[in-house]
Copies of this chain bind each other. A is one copy, B any other.
Amino acid sequence: MISALTKARLIDIVSKENYDDSNAGRLVYSYDATPQFQSMPDAVIAPRNKTEISQIVKICNQFHIPLIPRGSGTNLCAGTCPTEGGIVLLFKHMNQILEIDEENLTITVQPGVITLDVIQAAAKIGLFYPPDPSSFAISTIGGNINENSGGLRGLKYGVTRDYVIALEIVLANGQIIRTGGKLAKDVAGYDLTRLFVGSEGTLGVITEATLKLIPAPQTKKTLLALYQDIDSAAQSVSNIISSKIIPATLEFLDQPTIQVIEDYTNIGLPIHAKAVLLIEQDGDAETVNRDIMKIEKICKQGHALSVETAQSEDEAEKLRNARRTALSALARLKPTTILEDATVPRSEIAKMVTAINSIAEKHQITICTFGHAGDGNLHPTCTTDLRNDEEMKRVELAFAEIFEKAVELGGTITGEHGVGAMKAPYLELKLGESGIAAMKAIKHAFDPNNVMNPGKIFAKEARKRLVMTR
């Protein structure tokens, strides 16, 4: 609850038009892209700069009001759902690209900038910002940093973390710090920059970031390999990497996923194949040609039904876009779509996909699987119906088993989506009690009053999904 006096102080900071506690206004920010989670905030605020954020944070800290920084809300872990009420903090006034530095290969941005705008601003001058979460056309950089977003190019180029080199942060005590710099090397104390990347808004509010850019690859080529069984596809993934080729993209889609994408896009995808690999290499022309030829050979030797290279960039772009629409396509099947991202060492992909299928069968639910095979980051996706309590219970059980299996195979409960409220109950599977205690010690050190996005990462009770409403 926000008192009239506190409300007046907040309005005093951001001005009237940037504070909204109407029912309609709050309802819009009561959920994000994650199914099963909805909870009303007490207010929504849109500050114009870090000084205002610092003042807001101090008030939240004083009155123990939860503060939930939110980009476009595209996350899939209920990371921006205000599960404990409080104030949702928007960055709509802090959405500028502040600088592109061609000499130091950096771009400095405010958190509200759209990811695709960063990618395009870099591309315009021959530079490359690789992280490309599927939601990049609408997600914000601030959200990407807080969730350490991945994407289709993670195998070769890494994830958001690998490109964040400096941050400006408002801490829970209202102090503003700057970490890192336009520096390839910096070991002045603990790596606060990387600690904040992926911290899901639980340690402070990121108000500015400097991102590393790299020279854009000259060219790229895309191929599609079809398989009659999942094992052969997984084996090809292993064989490609073992042959010392790191493709820019190495995506896996199972038959049900291909089917729904084709129904959605109608671009002539091979709906008869049991598994498809979408493989892309970029770089200098000679390297790309050589790698693609080697990959073709490996796939054919690995019992691919067919291997086809896209004949034009237009055709390649269609394939990439088709892959990116997987979630939207699957979402058409049933009222509720739960997309997970259990991740395993790439050597364990075949085992993991097989396990997912048998778990789905055991619990009689529908799971389609696709994902970033090159980095073992799978997206088992369940199409279901939230209103069917009995089925939802089976879905819960199935996902719990999937997470357990991933960890058993040396993997993790989340590769790129974050923990949020959704996977908090499973975190102990991966970290154990001591690991969680170590992380909680950090949380407590930075945010003793638990006002920064509370209820995220750390579960109140273990091993059960939290579905809260307020």
Contacts and interface: CB of A to CB of B under 8 A. Distances in A.
Contacts of A188: 412-414, 419, 423, 427, 430-431
A75 to B, nearest CB: 11
A358 B203 CA distance: 43
Given A194-B194, A442-B445, A376 B412 contact: no
A162 interface: yes
Contact of A178 (B177, B182, B183, B435): B435
Given A238-B103, A410-B181, A435-B177, A457 B244 contact: no
A102 interface: yes
A425 B157 CA distance: 37
A235 to B, nearest CB: 10
Please classify how large the interface on chain A is, using the bins under 10, 10 to 19, 20 to 34, 35 or more.
35 or more
Interface in A163-221: 171, 175-179, 181-192, 194-195, 197-199, 203, 214-216
A340 interface: no
Most buried by B among A126, A155, A438: A438
A241 interface: yes
Contacts of A189: 419, 427, 430-431, 435-436, 439, 457
B187 A414 contact: yes
A284 B281 CA distance: 14
Given A190-B198, A444-B445, A372 B457 contact: no
A199 B190 contact: yes
A74 to B, nearest CB: 15
Contacts of A147: 187
